[in-house]
Amino acid sequence: MNRPKATTAEPFRSRSALRWFSRGRFRCCGSVLAFSSFVGCTNNPYLTVPGGTGWQTPGSPGTVDPVQAQMAELNRRVRLLDDNNRQLHTQLAQSEQQSQVYRDELGLVRQQLADTTNRLDSAAVAANEATDRLQGLQASTQLRGGATIRANTNLQQIASQMNFGGLQVIPDGDTIRIVVPADQLFQPGAATLLPNAAPTLDNLAAQIRTSLPRQRIAVEGYCDTAPLYGGRFTTSHQLTSAQVASIVEMLTRRSGLPEAQLFTIAQGANHPRASNDEAAGRAVNRRIEFVVYPETF
């Protein structure tokens, strides 16, 4: 039987087709891979993504969630606002405390001012009463026809027998003046008696109670011409009026002398006994004089 003779052309043709198909397939796959890489479309988690690093998986520590980042920023701002709020509350509490201190100090100053005003008013009233008493006393020494009442006792003789503790005693007509330096009783410019003023006034009160129990006695206050700065008093008359009022209060309450026996006169800087140009002269002019009258009460 005559079989068809095989030719070598068919195998060669088959191998050529296979090579052509393989080359076309690889070209297609390469084109597809190139296109996929170009558009960034891949489902492989291990491939790189645009703007990322290689070999990252979804949800790995290297990735940043925008929502979480925004929440963290908001939490940071809330904590900052809380800190500012606490600081503001602390400053407000301190301001309220300081304001209360200022209010308390203002109330205290107002109370002190009111007390000082009341004392000055009382001193002014006492000065007016003393002036009225002095005028009445001077009028009572005159009789009808201008005759003067003479005392039945000799005050100078009585005074010479009294012990006033080294105080200066000055005869002045029908009266005697017992001079006490104001610096022994008060601080300059003040009307509050010093602690060491008590022995001097106690001894004086004891002598009056023993030898001059019924004589009228004026307590006269004098000072120098030095200006008064920063104290309770603005004039010399205010100062001396307050000083003699303090002395009378002590003599009546502590020493027990009758209130009707004593009256006060504020002379201020009038009738100086020495020059005010020198410190020694100003010290002499700061004085309290107890003027003993021949009249009785």
| Distance (Å, whole) CA 218 – CA 262 | 6
Question: Taking the domains of the chain in order of start, what are their residue ranges?
Answer: 139-296
Residue 245: strand, helix, or coil: helix
Other beta carbons within 10 Å of 233: 20
What pLDDT shows up at residue 46? 47
| Residue 124, CA distances (Å) to 129, 132, 215, 237, 248 in order | 9, 12, 25, 9, 15
119-131 pLDDT, tens per residue? 887 777 777 777 7
Q: pLDDT of 235-272, one tens digit each?
A: 999 999 999 999 999 999 999 999 999 999 999 999 99
Instruction: Choose the weakest-confidence range: 101-110, 140-149, 272-281.
Output: 140-149
Question: In this structure, what DSSP letter does residue 218 have?
Answer: E
> What rounded mean pLDDT belongs to the chain?
80
Buried b vs exposed e over 130-143: b needs ≥16 C-beta within 10 Å?
beebbeeeeeeeee
Q: What is the pTM of this model?
A: 0.51
What does the pLDDT look like over 64-94, one tens digit per residue?
A: 789 999 999 999 999 999 999 999 999 999 9
What is residue 213's predicted lDDT score, i.e. its pLDDT? 93
CATH number, domain 139-296: 3.30.1330.60
Do residues 294 and 178 make contact, with C-beta atoms less than 8 angstroms apart? no
Q: Residue 215 is encoded by which pair of tokens? A: 């004589």
